[in-house]
Amino acid sequence: MLIAGYYYALTVNRVSDYGLYLADDTGEEVLLPNRYVSAQMQPGDTVDVFVYHDSEDRLVATTEHPYATVGQAAHLRVVGKTIHGAFLDWGLTAKDLFVPNRNQLTGLVNGHSYIVYLYSDNVTGRVVGSTRLTGFISNSELTVRSGEQVDLLVAIEQERGFRVIVNNRHWGMIYYNQLFRPVAVGDRLTGYVSKITDDNRIDISLQQAGYDEVRASAQRLLNLLAEHSGYLPLNDHSDPDEIAAVTRMSKKVFKRSVGTLLRQGALELTGEGIRLRKRT
């Protein structure tokens, strides 16, 4: 059964004046309109598509990729409003995402962007959005563990840092003292669970812990040196803020990375900084 809001790999079943009819393994069909059809698509071919409802509430397919699908959150811009709700750009040319008034935590403003969760309406089957996130994002039953790599969406800036959505399911927190690069609401990031408290709060770090962190940071430092002609004016005595601005690392991680690369013979210390060692 084809359901709006998901990707499918479907087979080209037949050709019509309006486009190609694609079928799943049960024989259910959906139209891929001509504007998405390429000359290479032939009957029997498999095509990866996203399925949604068009303006007449018919299931249709597209080869476009929306910014988010059912069960995901995204930072979307309001492009239109009616007395019933707001329409947001979710990356599909032919159809905007509808957020009914009842799903708006506060009134949405044209041209502004908001964190929105996408779900399937139980009655219509259409994909709709909601800025009332607490009904979808919860820490009551966690599905992550300490040290795990996770996907993040920066959702809210608070006094101590940024509240983030973890794996589209949970709330997490990145504290300012753990940030070594610019972050803004709407950013999608990869992070790591640094701590889970007894009351299921999730602390997030953008850097790996332990040896894996040093190994990854050492490689980033090598790449950064290569981008700057093999030299960086940084050393053990450099200001932590300067190190963070240039390398996006804490001073502690920077020093450990430098130490690792020195032991590997990959770089050398100069009077004012570090330099890639020439290979002989």
Sheet holding 231-232, edge to edge: 231-232, 274-276, 267-269
Q: pLDDT tens digits, residue range 179-226?
A: 877 899 999 999 999 999 999 999 999 877 655 567 778 888 888 898
In CATH, which of 3.30.460.10, 2.40.50.140, 3.50.50.60, 2.40.50.100 is domain 6-62?
Answer: 2.40.50.140
- The class (CATH top level) of 149-205 is mainly beta
Q: pLDDT tens digits, residue range 50-80?
A: 999 998 889 999 999 999 999 999 999 999 9
Measured between alpha carbons, how far is 73 from 4 in angstroms, rounded to an integer?
Answer: 16
Question: Average model confidence (pLDDT) for the chain?
Answer: 92
Closest CA to 266 of 213, 223, 211: 223
pLDDT of residue 211: 52
Query: At the fourth CATH level, which superfamily is domain 73-134?
Result: Nucleic acid-binding proteins (2.40.50.140)
Q: pLDDT tens digits, residue range 222-254?
A: 888 989 888 999 988 888 888 888 888 878 888
What is Dmax (Cα atoms) for the chain? 73
pTM of the model: 0.77
Map out the domains of the chain as residue ranges. 6-62, 73-134, 149-205, 210-276
In CATH, which of 1.10.10.10, 2.40.10.10, 3.40.50.300, 1.10.8.80 is domain 210-276?
Answer: 1.10.10.10
Q: pLDDT tens digits, residue range 149-177?
A: 999 999 999 999 999 999 999 999 999 88
CA angle (157, 149, 173) in 5-degree steps: 20
Which two tokens mark 75?
């930072």
Give SS3 for 220: helix
Q: Are strands 149-157 and 59-62 parallel, antiparallel or unpaired?
A: unpaired
Phi then psi dihedrals of residue 62, to 5 deg: -145, 150
